[in-house]
């Protein structure tokens, strides 16, 4: 992989990579849990939300992934702004009840969404006593995307759950660091070591001082990159 940082019209940061199959992959960091992937001329959005961008000015989507139904992850207006006739929407069951459409994936499902995109739905939930109501077990999704042979983990809203140990060969990972709703810095440190990606982006981090996570992981080979994903 090679990477660099550029920007698009709305001044979002982005990094570019070359996948294992030698194709171009660009990740645009919109804000919070909202991401855009451009792969070989195709567009994928994760959790598009209008509060973070004017999606009517952004490219139309080939695929939209929704992790769960909270308003900072599921926004019908943003989806409508980027949706076209043949857009595939991948979603968890409770979010589909609110949106009224999409292909439901539950934890453990794997789908070849398009010939160029495989998606695996993985668990995302809270474990700390008193926080379980935010993201209960077996409801929400994280996703592993395989693009050009490169595996990308987008965690959604989760803590450092034991299922992370099952994830293998992750090149790029997005981990949320936004206590009390997701992880503390210490939990994100533990999660990063379980997933062991080549590149890690803390995201969904609000006011958390994620630079501490970057410092804590200096004893690993993980390349921790901080982008504007509060």
Beta strands at 13-18 and 24-31: parallel, antiparallel or unpaired = antiparallel
Contact between 142 and 122 (Cβ < 8 Å) = yes
Closest residue by Cα to residue 224 from 206, 110, 205, 109: 205
Q: What is the mean pLDDT of residues 111-128?
A: 98
Give domain status of residue 8, yes or no.
no
Domain annotation covers residue 25: yes
Q: Please determine, for residue 6, whether its predicted confidence score (pLDDT) is greater than 50.
A: no
Element (DSSP H or E) covering residue 95: helix 93-99
The Cα 228–Cα 170 span in angstroms is 22
Parent domain of 209:
13-224
Tens digit of pLDDT for each residue in 68-87?
999 999 999 999 999 999 99
Whether residue 7 lies inside any domain: the answer is no
Residue 229 lies in a domain: no
Q: Mean of the pLDDT values across residues 110-126? A: 98
CATH number at residue 114: 3.60.15.10
pLDDT at 7: 42
Q: Is residue 1 part of a domain?
A: no
Q: Is residue 160 part of a domain?
A: yes
> Alpha-carbon Rg of the chain, whole angstroms?
16
Mean pLDDT of the chain: 95
Query: Would residue 62 count as lying in a domain?
Result: yes
**73 by DSSP, 3-state: which?**
coil
Question: What b/e readout covers 188-214, taking b as 16+ CB neighbours within 10 angstroms?
Answer: bbebbbebbbebbbbbbbeebebeebb
**pLDDT value at 2 more than 70:** no
CA distances from 24 to 18, 117, 182 (A): 5, 14, 31
Give the model's pLDDT for residue 179.
86
User: Which residues, at least 6 apart from 218, have a Cβ–Cβ distance to it below 8 Å?
Assistant: none
pTM of the model: 0.95
Tally of structural domains, the chain: 1
């Amino acid at each position: 992989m090679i990477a660099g940082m550029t920007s698009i019209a709305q001044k979002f940061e982005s990094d570019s990579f070359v996948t294992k199959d030698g194709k171009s992959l660009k990740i645009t960091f919109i804000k919070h849990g909202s991401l855009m992937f451009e792969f070989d001329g195709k567009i994928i959005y994760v959790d598009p939300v209008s509060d973070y961008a004017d999606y009517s000015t952004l490219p139309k989507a080939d695929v939209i992934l929704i992790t769960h139904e909270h308003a900072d992850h599921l926004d019908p207006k943003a989806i409508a702004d980027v949706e076209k006739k043949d857009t595939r929407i991948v979603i968890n069951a409770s979010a589909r009840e609110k949106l009224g459409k999409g292909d439901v994936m539950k934890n453990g499902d794997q789908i070849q969404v398009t010939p160029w995109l495989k998606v695996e739905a993985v668990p995302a939930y809270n474990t700390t006593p008193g926080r379980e109501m935010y993201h209960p077990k077996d409801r929400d999704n994280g996703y592993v995307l395989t693009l050009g042979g490169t595996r990308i983990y987008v965690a959604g809203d989760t803590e450092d759950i034991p299922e992370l140990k099952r994830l293998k060969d992750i090149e790029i990972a997005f981990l949320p660091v936004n206590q009390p709703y997701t992880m503390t810095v210490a939990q994100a440190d533990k999660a990063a070591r379980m997933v062991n990606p080549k590149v890690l982006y803390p995201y969904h981090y609000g006011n958390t001082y994620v630079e501490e996570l970057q410092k804590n992981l200096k004893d690993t080979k993980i390349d921790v990159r901080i982008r504007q994903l509060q």
